[in-house]
Amino acid sequence: MGTRAGGRRTGPKCIAIVGPFASGKTTLLEAILARTGAIPRQNPVSSGSTVSDHSPEARAHAMSVEATFATTEFMGEQLTFVDCPGSIEFSFEAEPVLAACDIAVVVAEADEKKIPALQLIMRKLDDLGVPRILFLNKVDKAIAGVRDTLKMLQPTSAAPLLLRQIPLRKDNVVIGSIDLALERAYIYREYAESQVAEIPTDDKARELEARFSMLETLADHDDQLMEQLLEEIEPPKDAVFDDLSADLRAGAVTPVLIGTAEKGNGVLRLLKAIRHDAPDVEATRKRLGVPDGNQTVVQVMKTIHTAHGGKLSVSRVLSGQIADAAELYLSNGETAKISGIYKMLGKDQSKLVAAKAGDTVALGKLDEVKTGQTLSSAKGGMKPLLTLAPPQPVFAFALRPKERKDEVKMSAAIQRLAEEDPSLTLRHNQDSAETVLSGHGEMHLRVVRERLEGKNQIPVEGHAPAVPYRETIRKTVQQRGRHKKQSGGHGQFGDVVIEIKPLPRGSGFQFSDTITGGVVPKTYIQSVETGVRDYLKSGPLGFPVVDVAVNLSDGSYHAVDSSDMAFQMAAKLAMKEGMAACSPVLLEPVMKVEIVTPSEATSKIIALIPQRRGQILGYDARPDWPGWDVVEATMPQAEIGDLIIELRSATAGVASYRCAFDHMAELTGRLADEAMNTNGKAA
């Protein structure tokens, strides 16, 4: 025992700070930067002047809306911390960060309502294989005991939550902590290093019990420690620290440290645990499958467009080293030339000459490089280490500039925003001629709109995207259409008789002809079909027509005056008059919806589905997700636009859904009238 961890890992480290919304992540980063001397003092989040609050949107909404990087030094070692947003709407920011970091600090508190959000974060860390320390924040305000809190939080973690500290209380007020590994007490001092003290006699029994529980958990992975505990032999402290390091790095345990970030309490012990126990870039290389060799490998974690410095690609150097003006290869074999290397501290950058393995730096003006890509010195590039797969968008709005002259400018600005946030989706809807922006919630897209109007100075208008209604018919009708025009010289003549009949739902459009005797020459039959198809783009109700069959059965022509255009016009006239007599009916798209929700909110979700004209198909436990359910339903697309707002409201911000087109259904009555007034010919 004592050699499992192989000693302390030195060199630059990258640490992600993650946790549920409002758990204190930004406050913790401020406390860390103040304690390490990177900033002169710790600024409260309410001041709007923290390192992570450098964007107007973050300040306006009092929440982190993007990953913030800050590099500092502690006891001679370089540490880069990344403050990741806590809201599920901005959670995709953490994906490329977590992949390339060495360890995560999960900030949590004794709040039962935040357990589902914490579970989402812990599950992501498990999927990526990232070791983590849990920092139990706000212990000065917690009513429940620390060990009771851990019992509450344990279902969120696949690995045992290993308590390394217990609170030290006086008159029911937390005044410090007791470190179970060091067997030493620390008296908190606001915004200053804690004072070392002897463990009070009244707390000794409590400390021994908690320490034994910690050692029992460590003994699950150390047979020698197990023997010592059975024989009541006190294990050496260095061996205990070795076990703590080894089990953390292996992901076998999640050590739990306590403190109050707002007052800077517990921050120094956290920093020392990171310095001593955290893995380094070598372990991250192995986790990502970086091939052995002497090549330089760089993983891009975030893209930033600055006002004056242009594009920055914040990246982790996984192996080798890079210098300014160096050329690296993308995975597709293209080259990218570095123009500037910078150390990050929020919005501030300081220029570097070079960067080595382990460093997290911003690389300047890699215009062709995107977030999540892998760069290397290997000629022709190497296989990407990460595949970014954003979750399906759950909220959208149609966007247009208030002034037409800004259309090109808006398009370029949105492309830059999508580079910074790959979870944004932009598409042009040809049916409605709308530019539709999709994302992961109402707040997500609100921030995008604020950036367009603030950072890019483009006033925009947004509204709910048009629903792709269709129309069909219920009756079969035969109709003649004749186009005849005489205007001197050659006239225009086309005459057709068509039969229009409904088809089963989902059949689309079918065209046929039963012309005999050449009453409509074959050269014009295609023109008739073209005219019919052109009319079907907008039927009598104002929407594209589907599930209709048209047969050309009769007609006549003129040897001189007939033409392709004349027969197209004749076909359109026949369709216009015939379709109105076919009992047209509106169709709306109905989607298959799969909602994931904490089990405690399932009844609320089931209750709201019928309110949106949905039909519940069933619900069941979410596989391998204790405490979560999956609810399946069908729901009209018109009812899904703002569904996510209600889902998140009912589940403390964590529910989500996936949907896919299922079928078209008839829509009649008041709802059909409203749809036509908004989108159809009645408008």
Q: Are residues 442 and 489 in the same domain?
A: no
Query: For residue 224, which amino acid is it?
Result: Q
Q: Are residues 72 and 150 in the same domain?
A: yes
Question: Domain for residue 385, yes or no?
Answer: no
Per-residue pLDDT, 431: 81
Q: How many domains is the chain partitioned into structurally?
A: 5
Per-residue pLDDT, 2: 63
Q: Are residues 536 and 437 in the same domain?
A: no
Per-residue pLDDT, 514: 96
Per-residue pLDDT, 587: 97
CB atoms within 10 A of CB 370: 15
* Predicted TM-score of the model (pTM): 0.92
Question: Domain for residue 410, yes or no?
Answer: yes
Q: Are residues 274 and 361 in the same domain?
A: no
Q: Which tokens belong to 399?
A: 């966007």
Question: Domain for residue 383, yes or no?
Answer: no
Q: Are residues 58 and 207 in the same domain?
A: yes
User: Residue 528: which CATH number?
Assistant: 3.30.230.10
Mean pLDDT per 10-residue segment, the chain (683 residues): 80 97 95 96 83 80 91 96 95 95 97 94 96 96 89 95 95 94 95 94 95 96 93 93 96 97 96 97 96 92 88 97 95 94 93 96 94 94 91 93 92 92 90 91 94 92 93 97 81 95 95 94 95 96 96 93 94 97 97 97 97 97 94 97 96 96 95 83 47
Domain span including residue 313: 289-376
User: Residue 445: which CATH number?
Assistant: 3.30.70.870
Could you give the CA distance from residue 94 to residue 82 in angstroms, rounded to a whole number?
9
Instruction: Supply the DSSP symbol for 545.
Output: B
Q: Are residues 569 and 622 in the same domain?
A: no
Per-residue pLDDT, 294: 86
Nearest to 391 by CA among 133, 651, 90, 106: 90
Q: Are residues 483 and 575 in the same domain?
A: yes
Q: Which residues contact 543 (CB under 8 A, 6 or more apart)?
A: 469, 470, 471, 586, 679, 680
End-of-domain residue from the set 545, 561, 582: 582
For 437, the enclosing helix (H) or strand (E) is strand 434-439
Q: Are residues 235 and 366 in the same domain?
A: no
Per-residue pLDDT, 335: 94
User: Cα–chain-centroid distance for residue 413?
Assistant: 20
Q: Are residues 185 and 233 in the same domain?
A: yes
Q: Are residues 420 and 522 in the same domain?
A: no
Question: Domain for residue 8, yes or no?
Answer: no
Per-residue pLDDT, 683: 40
Burial class of residue 122 in the structure, from the number of CB atoms within 10 Å of its CB (0-12 exposed, 13-18 middle, 19+ buried): buried
Per-residue pLDDT, 629: 97
Question: Domain for residue 495, yes or no?
Answer: yes
SS3 content of the chain, % helix, strand, coil (to 5): 35, 30, 35
Question: Domain for residue 659, yes or no?
Answer: yes
Pseudo-torsion of CA 416, 417, 422, 424, nearest 10°?
Answer: -130
Nearest to 107 by CA among 22, 6, 194, 215: 22
Question: Domain for residue 361, yes or no?
Answer: yes
The 3-state DSSP class for residue 620 equals strand
Nearest to 341 by CA among 327, 330, 353, 331: 353
Instruction: Supply the DSSP symbol for 260.
Output: B
Q: Are residues 591 and 550 in the same domain?
A: no
Question: Domain for residue 284, yes or no?
Answer: no
End-of-domain residue from the set 279, 299, 323: 279
